[in-house]
Structure formats: structure tokens, C-alpha cells
Amino acid sequence: MSYNEEYKAATENPEGYWAGQVERIKWFKKPESILEKTDHGTYKWYADGELNTSYLALDWQLEQGRGEQVALYYDSPVTDTKKAITFNELHSQVTVFAGALRNMGVEKGDRVVIYMPMIPEAAVAMLACARLGAPHSVVFGGFAATELAVRIDDATPKVILTASCGVEFEKQIAYKPLVDKAIDMAEHKPGNVVVCQRPMLTADMTEGRDLDWYACQQGVEPVTEPVPVRGDDPLYVLYTSGTTGAPKGIVRDNGGHAVALSYAVQNIYGMQPGDVWWGASDIGWVVGHSLIVYGPLMSGCSAIFFEGKPIRCPDAGVFWRIIEEYKVNSMFCAPTAFRAIRKEDPEGGLSKNYDLSSLKWVFVAGEKLDSSTYGWLSELLEVPVVDHWWQTETGWPMSSPMMGWPDPSEARLGSTNKAVPGYDIRVVDGEGTEVGAGETGNIVVTLPMPPGVAWDIWNQPQRYVDSYLTAFEGYYHTGDGGYVDEDGYVVITGRTDDVINVSGHRLSTGEMEEVVSSHAAVAECAVIGANDTMKGQIPVGLIVLKAGVEIDEAQLEKEVVAMVREQVGALACFRRAVVVQRLPKTRSGKILRAVLRKIAANEEYKMPPTIDDEAILPEITDMMKGSGLI
């Protein structure tokens, strides 16, 4: 298999190329339609095929003789628990839990919200929903009640699945009160809330609505026959921060997703059935969907299901312990985790206590991999450290070396490697004209995008068009900036919009601005990302006070920090806000965020030609320096 030939074939004849990949998975009915244009001008794959994703992850694996192979290794240093769950066991847990959901009235097409920590029950929940053809929407357990409420109102779930708590180091985070509060706030009310009571904290139950996780499974009829769904039926909805307004419900279909993940796990990640794979992330993010649950299981791999942090579990050697203990062959991780380990153990001495010889290579993505971390990690592990690039919307990598093929492209520092076959990546200027090799611009992808890439936003198809297809006619707009060098290597320089990346979590500064500006003393504000060596970026707020307001600035900072924590969540890491006299604006009144970002990042900036008052920028720079923000 040669990269150049495959890439050429996929680019010149996408329909033919992906028709050739249909046999990767087992269909109940093979698709006759390979590629179709949707009503709103996007493209979908394998629309009329029939399949079931839970069947592919479980029953199909049993049919291939993997019943006694471990499907999930649950390892939770924060609760001192370990479990090895075989495909047979997982299959039986999923069929029973699907039966319980069916008893609650969940049928094909109904939505289920999952707000859970990293416990195996969460994977069971996802696969049980998939089995019924009921799209799940996993909401990351760190999100505040307001954020959960917005998602409940958009997804309108019949049932919400949760646990009594999440565990972070020695601290428990009670989930159930957050769910209760979110349901109170939301207009939509789910029929049932199913609560997995964890031994360390028991949640209060609301009579008539709440059900105990295990009690509700007693005596139910297992769903042994998975419900057939169409290739274009939704498997899940996953919310991602939009730059404005409510979060976007990215819709993943069943057919394209199954084929694409099978292709990715084998060809990009180089994993074979029986291999041990670790997606070191959380089910609340796309990586958790593609690389903790669906990808590895559908490909017959054993997956690590880790509930913990890279440090203090009990030390910064926990990643190395996991690799040794389960003989991990390859893993995925955000660079921020390795930066945290390095901070605690700069020489990497803890890694020397473990046998890491099972490891073939390590993948990183989610934010920029700085060269210092890259160098440290490659030296420590002595295996290829592979930077690759993707987004929630794509669900699988757009650029990466193909580690499963004999000729994976060499790494090139600062680059996320070459385009994956199926992704025709281009760079255009602000007018949509392609720029030359090495020139920076907007990174876009030629349509059609390959299978697996989302082609819809839940409830709002037009928003998909507006968000991704309108900026540059004929292209999918990734929202990332960067360039492609003369050899086809893709370099990502960052987001071109206002979403910031805190420890690999993509958060909308717009959402935080909304919260800050709701404070009684605030006239207007801008939240921008400042560079942070540990987290990549952290948000900082610039606040303009309402005229005549007298308030202690430190007190104001405390109050808005608490508000963001409450309404967006602690994961936003919003800890600093300073008062400024005014914000830089264009003559038409738009805040000049791009230039503020540069100031926050300590970069040179050019005076924007549209600026209203040139004196503001030096003023703001001094202010930010003076208060230690930069």
C-alpha cells in the first residue's frame, strides 16, 4: 500500500475509493448509494445501507471469536479499582442495559443524554443507545448545570443517564445535583433519570423520575437483536463550542462513521485486532467517542478505559504504569498531559521504573505540540511521537502519517504531517483564493469530505452551512489557520476565530463573555486566550466598567471568576479579569479580538487599518503587563 497512490485515488475519485472500503464492516444490508448530496448542500455516504454500530462493536467481534478477549481495561487510580471486561461480558451488559432503556420507552430516534464520569457503565450506556438506534449525547462531566441545561433543551432527551459523582484525585464532584439543577432550568423535561450510585457518594433520588442504574435492569429482556439503522441515521450528537450563541450539536451518522473509524484505526493508528489501544481522554470529547469506545471496539482491539489524571495518581508515573501493566501498543493523548508529567518529573525518571517495550508509537493532537515537549517525549520513549490533526466535526484525522502502512511519512517538526487520503486540504486567503506552498492562510478542505465527517448540526442544518460551507465557496472551512509546505506537510498555527483551547478543551470565549458581561458592574468585556505553558491557553477577561460604578477591582475579579466557574464550568480555568478603560474597536464598532489575542500572546501586532482609536492598543498592552496578565 503506498501513500501516494492511495491519496491520489481518494482525491481523484472519492466515490470509487470509498466504495472500495464498504467491506471493512459488516452491514445488514450493503449500501447501494455511496455518495449523495443532502438537501442543504453537504454530502453524505452510504445513506441507504443498514447496520448497527453496537452490533459491530460487540456481536460482530463475538462472531469473529473474540468473546474472551478483553474489550475494556478499566483502570481507576482515583478509586483504586481495576476491571477487565471481555467482549462477552460487555455484550451481555449492553444488551441488558438496552433492555432497561427500552422499558423506559427509548426507541429508535429518541435521544439520551449521558452525563457521566469515566466508569465502564458510561461505555455500556453509549453502546446500549447505539443498539437501539437512539442517538446519545454525551455531555462532559465537568460542565456546569447551565451548560447541561442548554444541551438538554437542544437534544430533548427522553432519558438522562448519570452517576452520583465524578472523582478527581481525593475530591468527589457530585453530578446528580447538577443534573437536577439543569433539569430545573431546562424547558424540556426528560421522562427518567438513571443514576449509577458510586460507593463513595450516594445521590438523592427524585421519586417517580429517578431510577437506580442496577435496579432498573432487574428482570428486563435483553436486546439481543440490535435495531437496524440506516447509514445516514444519527449515532450521536456531540456539542462543540460555537463562536456565537448556543453550542453546536455535531451529528455523527452510523454508516460513514463505522467505515471511517475502521479505516483510521487500521491505517492511521496501525492497530490490528487483538492489539491494546489507549485513548487517554474522556468520553465527553470526540476522542472519547472515536478512540476510547467505537474505534477500538469495532476494530477488535482491547481499549484502556482510564479514570484518572496524568499526575498525582499517585505520581506522574501513572501513564508509564498503565503502558506496562496492559502492554499498551499505542496511545492517543493531548500534549497538555505530557506537559503536566514533565512539570512533575522533568527528567522523566519515573518512566525508567517501567517496561515500555510494548509501545510502538504515540499519537498527540488537540492542540499545538510544542517542539520542547516533542523532543522530551521522543527521547524518553524512543518511539515515534506522531502529531496529527482533527476536529470534533471530522471525527477522525485530517492529517497524519499512515502508521499502518509500510511507508508512513517522516515527522516534520511543527507539522501535523500530510493529508490523510480522502481529505484534499487547501489553504486560501481571505477572498477564497488558493495561496502558494508555505503561505499562511485559512485551512479548508475540498468537498466532498470523506465518510465519517459530520454533515449536519442537530436541529439546525442551515447552521452547518453557515458555519462551515459559506465562508469559502466549494470548501469546508476548518476555522484553523496555517499552511501546507512544498512537500504537502500541513502546519496548523491556531484557530482563526475566538474559540480557545484550554488543556485540549475547546471553549468559546464568546460564551464566557456572555457570563462576564451579565455582572451588574460590567459595561462590556472581551475574553481572550493568553499563552500558558501548562494548559496551552487560558482565558483572561478585559472589563470595561459601567460609568459611575464604584467597585473594588479585586472584588469584581473574584465575582466574575465565580460566575464563569458556575455557569461555564471549572474546566474553563477562567481566573483573571482586569478593568480597562476601553476596548479596541473597528470604526463599525466591532471589538478587535485578533489584535487583542496577539497582545495576550505577547506577539508583535500591526495596527489594524480599521481601528477607531490607535491610542488604545498601547494603553491595553501596558494595562495587561501591569496586572501580570501577560
Residue 366 binds ligand AMP (CB under 6 A): yes
Could you give the CA distance from residue 579 to residue 545 in angstroms, rounded to a whole number?
7
Residue type, 232: D
Instruction: Count other Cβ atoms within 10 Å, centred on residue 28.
Output: 12
Those residues with Cβ within 8 angstroms of residue 390's Cβ, 6 or more apart along the chain or in another chain: 286, 365, 396, 397, 398
CB of 505 to ligand AMP, least distance (A): 7
Residue 365 binds ligand AMP (CB under 6 A): yes
Of 275, 324, 387, 497, the residue at the interface with ligand AMP (CB under 6 A) is 387
DSSP assignment, residue 308?
Answer: S
Could you give the CA distance from residue 32 to residue 49 in angstroms, rounded to a whole number?
7
Residue 367 binds ligand AMP (CB under 6 A): yes
CB of 390 to ligand AMP, least distance (A): 6
Residue showing the smallest CB distance to ligand AMP in the complex: 392
Nearer to ligand AMP, 385 or 522 (CB): 385
Q: Contact, 231 vs 255, CB < 8 A? A: yes
CB of 630 to ligand AMP, least distance (A): 22
Q: How far is CA 315 from CA 309, 319, 373, 562, in A?
A: 10, 9, 19, 30
CB of 19 to ligand AMP, least distance (A): 28
Residue 418 binds ligand AMP (CB under 6 A): no
- Kindly provide the residue ranges of all beta strands, DSSP E only, lying in 388-461, ordered along the sequence: 425-428, 441-446
Nearer to ligand AMP, 52 or 267 (CB): 267
Provide the β-strand partners of residue 112. Answer: 136, 159
Angle separating helix axes 616-626 and 593-600, nearest 10 degrees: 40
Nearer to ligand AMP, 290 or 302 (CB): 290
CB of 367 to ligand AMP, least distance (A): 5
Residues in the interface with ligand AMP (CB under 6 A) total 19
CB of 389 to ligand AMP, least distance (A): 4
Residue 290 binds ligand AMP (CB under 6 A): no
Of 392, 415, 503, 537, the residue at the interface with ligand AMP (CB under 6 A) is 392
CB of 443 to ligand AMP, least distance (A): 9
Could you give the CA distance from residue 476 to residue 103 in angstroms, rounded to a whole number?
41
Residue 240 binds ligand AMP (CB under 6 A): yes
Query: Residue 276: which of 305, 248, 310 has the closest Cα?
Result: 305
Nearer to ligand AMP, 116 or 502 (CB): 502
CB of 147 to ligand AMP, least distance (A): 15
Of 416, 417, 442, 508, the residue at the interface with ligand AMP (CB under 6 A) is 416
Of 181, 506, 565, 582, the residue at the interface with ligand AMP (CB under 6 A) is 506
Q: Look-up: residue for cell 486566550? A: 529
Q: Do the strands 499-502 and 505-508 form a parallel or antiparallel pair, or are they unpaired?
A: antiparallel
CB of 440 to ligand AMP, least distance (A): 14
Nearer to ligand AMP, 87 or 376 (CB): 376
Q: How many helices (H) and strands (E) does the chain have?
A: 19, 29
Of 389, 475, 489, 574, the residue at the interface with ligand AMP (CB under 6 A) is 389
Residue 508 binds ligand AMP (CB under 6 A): no
Residue 130 CA to its chain's centroid (Å)? 19
CB of 9 to ligand AMP, least distance (A): 25
First-to-final CA distance of the chain: 49
Residue 162 binds ligand AMP (CB under 6 A): no
Nearer to ligand AMP, 93 or 373 (CB): 373
Q: Contact, 417 vs 386, CB < 8 A? A: yes
Residue 279 binds ligand AMP (CB under 6 A): no
Nearer to ligand AMP, 146 or 537 (CB): 537
Q: How far is CA 480 from CA 346, 356, 500, 575, in A?
A: 31, 35, 12, 26
CB of 394 to ligand AMP, least distance (A): 8
Residue 401 binds ligand AMP (CB under 6 A): no
426 by DSSP, 3-state: which? strand
Q: Do the strands 475-484 and 490-495 form a parallel or antiparallel pair, or are they unpaired?
A: antiparallel
Binding positions for ligand AMP, 467-496, rule CB under 6 A: 478-480, 492, 495
Instruction: Count other Cβ atoms within 10 Å, centred on residue 533.
Output: 10
**568 burial type by CB count under 10 A (0-12 exposed, 13-18 middle, 19+ buried):** buried
Residue type, 370: D
Nearer to ligand AMP, 188 or 506 (CB): 506
Could you give the CA distance from residue 630 to residue 537 in angstroms, rounded to a whole number?
12
Residue 511 binds ligand AMP (CB under 6 A): no
Question: Per-residue contact track with ligand AMP, 56 to 75, x per CB under 6 A?
Answer: --------------------
In the complex, the residues that contact ligand AMP under the rule CB under 6 A are 240, 286, 365-368, 387-389, 391-392, 416, 478-480, 492, 495, 501, 506
